[in-house]
Amino acid sequence: MHVSHDPAAAAAETIGFDQFLAVDIRVGTILEAQPFPEARKPAYRLVIDFGPVIGTKRSSAQITEHYALEDLPGRQVAAVVNFPPRQIGKFMSEVLTLGFPDEAGKVVLFHPSAPVPNGGRLF
């Protein structure tokens, strides 16, 4: 699966509502953010709390351009929580943290505009 980070990319093909519902996107709060020097592209290792149903999950996120490590704990983010885990070097990334590209293609995190309970599902 290739996801374009180009803001001018063509729209994706039309999908059914059931396909959308198959993607489990939840909100969580970053508990820990650590450097990830072994990553091929600059990234951080995150530990995110998705509440009692999903629990705490790990994610590799290429967000080093806009975010300092010390500013990430406590920040709410959205992530796909039902992809299979992905090995990135020696790190197992369990969820896909979501963001949008800025004009230079660097990731800006997607997050709720007001605090919401961890584990809430996007609809």
**CATH number, domain with residue 62:** 2.40.50.140
Instruction: Please report, in tens digits, the pLDDT of each residue of the chain (123 residues total).
Output: 445 566 667 888 999 999 988 999 999 999 999 999 888 899 999 999 999 999 999 999 999 999 999 999 999 999 999 999 999 888 999 999 999 999 999 999 999 999 999 999 998
The model's pTM: 0.89
Which domain, by its residues, includes 89? 25-109
Give me the pLDDT at residue 2, please.
42
Beta-ladder partners of 85: none
* Residue 43 resides in a domain: yes
Provide the number of structural domains found in the chain: 1
**Burial class for 105, CB neighbours closer than 10 Å (0-12, 13-18, 19+):** exposed
DSSP state letters, 57-105:
EEEEE--TTT--GGG-TT-EEEEE-SSPPEEETTEEE-SEE-EEE-TTS
